[in-house]
């Protein structure tokens, strides 16, 4: 497809220099709905038959045609001409340009990778595709998992919620090492031991325990911190309901798909309501 002559209207918000992460969620949902996502995530297998390779090329081109209207003009100018005929090449090029890189992104993606659960996906294909996608994005950060990062990753995945505040500090601290992280945790433990027996440390703040308090669902909570949105024991500023951008990408994607499904059902109901008066009038005129 010629990117300059395309007149199709974008079905999602167009990709700009500033919204790659949000656009990626939308385009993934759109391509999955057309059974084309896999053709943008892997190169054709040279060992497959000529017929299979031809089908792959056709599907990759169809994916590129679907992606092209969702890309703004300035972004299109950064792509090679052949990318507009190959969905895999197009998505790979865009990832190389816009995908976040660096230690913080590496840690975020790796944590998401190791926290994947099969039951959160609607099929084995989607589950395995997400694993492959995360593996490629992790490699794309060009970060090596050294001893410090390995320790920080383990801490980030295993520490209880009241210590997760530290993982945010570590992610924003240049040159963070495993020794520094351990010292911070040990210092926090010593600080907690100096508090009265009726208090508990949460992050860097101490709050009084009230074991009798419960969330709206009936679950007991250990401190005064209750999210006003979901009723769980965390601060509002880290609630996924209030701040969906903080949720894992796979969950954001699922929310996007569910939102599209609800909108489609709503549109169908609206269409039925519009058709009903006409049917009633036709019945009266019989």
Mean pLDDT of the chain: 77
163-174 pLDDT per residue, tens: 887 887 787 777
For the ranges 40-49, 94-103, 196-205, the lowest mean pLDDT is seen at 196-205
What's the confidence (pLDDT) of residue 215? 43
Instruction: Give yes or no for a contact between 116 and 131, defined as CB atoms under 8 angstroms apart.
Output: yes
Instruction: Give yes or no for a contact between 209 and 223, defined as CB atoms under 8 angstroms apart.
Output: yes
Per-residue confidence band for 284, with pLDDT thresholds at 50, 70 and 90: very low
Which of 38-52, 59-73, 194-208 is modeled with the greatest confidence? Answer: 59-73
Say yes or no to pLDDT of 82 above 70: yes
Which percentage of the chain shows pLDDT scores above 90?
18
Q: What are phi and psi of 220, to 5 degrees?
A: -70, 145
More reliable by pLDDT, 61 or 264: 61
Biggest CA-to-CA distance, the chain: 86
4-20 pLDDT per residue, tens: 444 556 788 899 988 88
- Alpha helices, DSSP H, located in the chain: 20-33, 50-67, 73-76, 87-98, 103-114, 124-140, 147-158, 164-172, 178-193, 249-284
Strand (E) or helix (H) holding 200: strand 199-202
Say yes or no to pLDDT of 197 above 80: no
Say yes or no to pLDDT of 276 above 80: no
238 Cβ contact partners less than 8 Å away, ≥ 6 residues apart: 164, 246
What's the confidence (pLDDT) of residue 275? 63
Per-residue confidence band for 44, with pLDDT thresholds at 50, 70 and 90: confident
What's the confidence (pLDDT) of residue 209? 40
State how far the Cα of 84 lies from the Cα of 90, in Å rounded to an integer: 6
Strand (E) or helix (H) holding 205: strand 205-208
Per-residue confidence band for 129, with pLDDT thresholds at 50, 70 and 90: confident
Per-residue confidence band for 100, with pLDDT thresholds at 50, 70 and 90: low
What's the confidence (pLDDT) of residue 55? 92
Work out the average pLDDT over 90-106. Answer: 82
How far the first Cα of the chain sits from its last, in Å, is: 51
Say yes or no to pLDDT of 153 above 80: yes
Residue 57's nearest CA partner among 34, 32, 29, 88 is 88
What's the confidence (pLDDT) of residue 36? 93
204-252 pLDDT per residue, tens: 443 434 444 444 444 444 456 788 887 777 777 777 778 777 776 656 7
What's the confidence (pLDDT) of residue 3? 46
Residues written for the chain: 286
State how far the Cα of 53 lies from the Cα of 116, in Å rounded to an integer: 31
Distances (CA, A) of 192 to 120, 203, 207, 213, 281: 37, 10, 11, 21, 75
Q: What is the pTM of this model?
A: 0.42
Q: Using CB atoms within 10 A of its CB, is residue 140 exposed (0-12), middle (13-18) or buried (19+)?
A: middle
And the tokens for 256?
A: 């996007």
For the ranges 30-39, 40-49, 85-94, the lowest mean pLDDT is seen at 40-49
């Amino acid at each position: 497809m010629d990117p300059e002559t395309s007149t199709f209207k974008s079905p999602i918000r167009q990709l700009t220099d500033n919204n790659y992460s949000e656009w990626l969620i939308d385009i993934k949902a759109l391509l999955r709905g057309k059974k084309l996502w896999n053709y943008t995530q892997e190169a054709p297998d040279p060992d497959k038959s000529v017929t299979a390779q031809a089908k792959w090329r056709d599907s990759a081109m169809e994916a590129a045609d679907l992606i092209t209207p969702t890309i703004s003009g300035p972004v299109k100018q950064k792509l090679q001409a052949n990318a507009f005929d190959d969905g895999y090449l197009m998505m790979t090029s865009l990832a190389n340009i816009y995908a976040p890189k660096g230690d913080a992104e590496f840690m975020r993606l790796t944590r998401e990778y190791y926290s994947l659960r099969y039951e959160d996906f609607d099929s084995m294909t989607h589950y395995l595709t997400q694993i492959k996608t995360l593996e490629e994005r992790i490699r794309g950060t060009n970060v090596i998992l050294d001893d410090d990062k390995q320790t920080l990753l383990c801490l980030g995945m295993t520490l209880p919620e009241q210590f997760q505040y530290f993982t945010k500090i570590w992610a924003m601290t240049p040159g963070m090492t495993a020794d520094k992280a351990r010292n911070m945790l040990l210092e926090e433990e010593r600080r907690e031991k100096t508090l009265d027996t009726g208090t508990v440390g949460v992050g860097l703040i101490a709050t009084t325990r009230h074991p009798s308090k419960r969330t709206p669902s009936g679950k007991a909570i250990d401190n005064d911190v209750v999210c006003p949105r979901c009723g769980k024991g965390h601060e509002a500023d880290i609630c996924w309901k209030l701040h969906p951008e903080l949720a894992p990408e796979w969950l954001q994607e699922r929310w996007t798909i569910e939102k599209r499904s609800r909108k489609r059902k709503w549109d169908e109901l609206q269409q039925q309501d519009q058709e009903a008066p006409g049917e009633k009038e036709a019945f009266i005129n019989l």
